[in-house]
Amino acid sequence: MVKTVIPIRKEASQSPLPIIPATLSVAHGRTLDRRQRPLRDLRISVTDRCNFRCTYCMPKEVFDQHYPYLAQSELLSFEEIHRLAKIFVSLGVEKIRLTGGEPLLRKDLETLISMLAKIRTPQNEALDLTLTTNGSLLSKKSALLKESGLQRLTVSLDALDDAIFKAMNDVDYPVGDVLKGIEAAQKAGFEDIKVNMVVKKGVNDHEILPMAKYFRNSGITLRFIEFMDVGSSNGWNLDQVLPSAEVIAMISEQSPLEQVDPNYAGEVAQRWRYQDGAGEIGVISSVTQAFCHECTRARLSTDGHLFLCLFATEGFDFKTLMRSGRSDLEIANAVMQTWSNREDRYSEIRHLHTKDLERKQRKVEMSYIGG
């Protein structure tokens, strides 16, 4: 495969066509990368646009009205996404997460969900189909999403205090509307809902206990995410990272916790449950407890570039490959070749190389490949 550098200002039309190997087979189980990690999870970004301007993802000073968002013609069509999804599932992918930007801004997204919900694994099992959203459109869309075949939801929510939440989304959006969206999702029949809170020390860390208290006994799993250096525009500083171990200690002091085994190999969130049976929380600790050795995720950008790491600087152009008339077998071989050459482990080497990486290369923005 020929690597394509994807800078903050994307020029996808100039990306070279990937090389298709002639010797790989798609008939022999899971594809492993160079560290023996299987390809299991695919995240698909359906739009690079968002109605929030969260400071850790799409800060206003970068993503203003002059930012070069993708034109409609540059986006993968629903048919192209569906085709690629089927190919990835045939190679061992069991879980697909729709992301953005804000995925619910993509017009008629329920049509795509209906298409993806019909995909079966080689073992004739249902695909694990989920979506991450900021919750701003959930009140309107929850029932339709459920009817279309979406199985699970993850909602981003960084504070219950309205002033703090508005400061973090930076568009003056009220927290009450997101909470109403979560309630609407529960009423629509979603039984597996997760809420993700990105924790920034000195910004919203005093919201940890109120959030934990609010979601106790709710049937919703609250997960705390360490502030990460995703992209090149969020002003990441290690001093603003609150280690997950401190989050667990803080909550456990008030409501004792005990650790739970992961649901599956490669699950990125460490699971903890309240000893009194009031539910479960999780922590995602990319900075202080790197889980690169278990990462099974690939990410497909809005315009069809495949990224092998959340902190990547390079992608692989599959849109051009599809639009040049290649067969499913040829594309599958290209996916296998790309994954088999993967050796990404950014979180494991962050502390050794962050300064050099930031100075020499610009990591792709999270809004382009999804979180």
Residue 160: inside a domain? yes
Spatial separation of the C-alpha atoms in residues 2 and 338, rounded to whole Å: 9
Mapped onto helix, strand or coil, the DSSP state of residue 89 is: helix
Residue 112: inside a domain? yes
Count of domains observed in the chain: 1
Q: Are the C-beta atoms of residues 306 and 322 closer than 8 Å to each other?
A: no
Q: Amino acid letter at 16?
A: P
- pLDDT tens digits, residue range 42-56? 999 999 999 999 888
Residue 16: inside a domain? no
From 50-59, 127-136, 185-194, 345-354, the region with the lowest mean pLDDT: 345-354
Spatial separation of the C-alpha atoms in residues 336 and 276, rounded to whole Å: 46
Using alpha carbons, select from 316, 313, 320 the residue that is nearest to residue 358.
Answer: 313
Does the pLDDT at position 5 exceed 60? Answer: no
Using alpha carbons, select from 42, 15, 90 the residue that is nearest to residue 328.
Answer: 90
Does the pLDDT at position 34 exceed 90? Answer: yes
Helix residue spans in the chain (DSSP H): 78-90, 109-117, 138-148, 162-169, 175-187, 208-215, 244-254, 318-323, 328-340, 346-360, 366-369
Asked whether the CA dihedral 86, 296, 101, 212 is positive or negative, the reply is: positive
Using alpha carbons, select from 272, 282, 261, 268 the residue that is nearest to residue 347.
Answer: 268
Residue 97: inside a domain? yes
Does the pLDDT at position 18 exceed 60? Answer: no
Q: Amino acid letter at 313?
A: T
Residue 261: inside a domain? yes
Using alpha carbons, select from 100, 103, 184 the residue that is nearest to residue 140.
Answer: 184
Rounded to 10°, the helix 109-117/78-90 angle is: 30
The residue segments making up the domain with residue 81 are 46-369
Cross-strand partners of 190: none
CATH number at residue 206: 3.20.20.70
Spatial separation of the C-alpha atoms in residues 342 and 247, rounded to whole Å: 32
pLDDT, average across residues 199-227: 96
Q: The whole model's pTM is what? A: 0.88
Structure-block tokens of residue 311 = 């902190």
Residue 188: inside a domain? yes
What pLDDT sits at residue 293?
85
Q: Amino acid letter at 139?
A: S
- pLDDT tens digits, residue range 143-183? 999 999 999 999 999 999 999 999 999 999 999 999 999 99
Does the pLDDT at position 103 exceed 70? Answer: yes
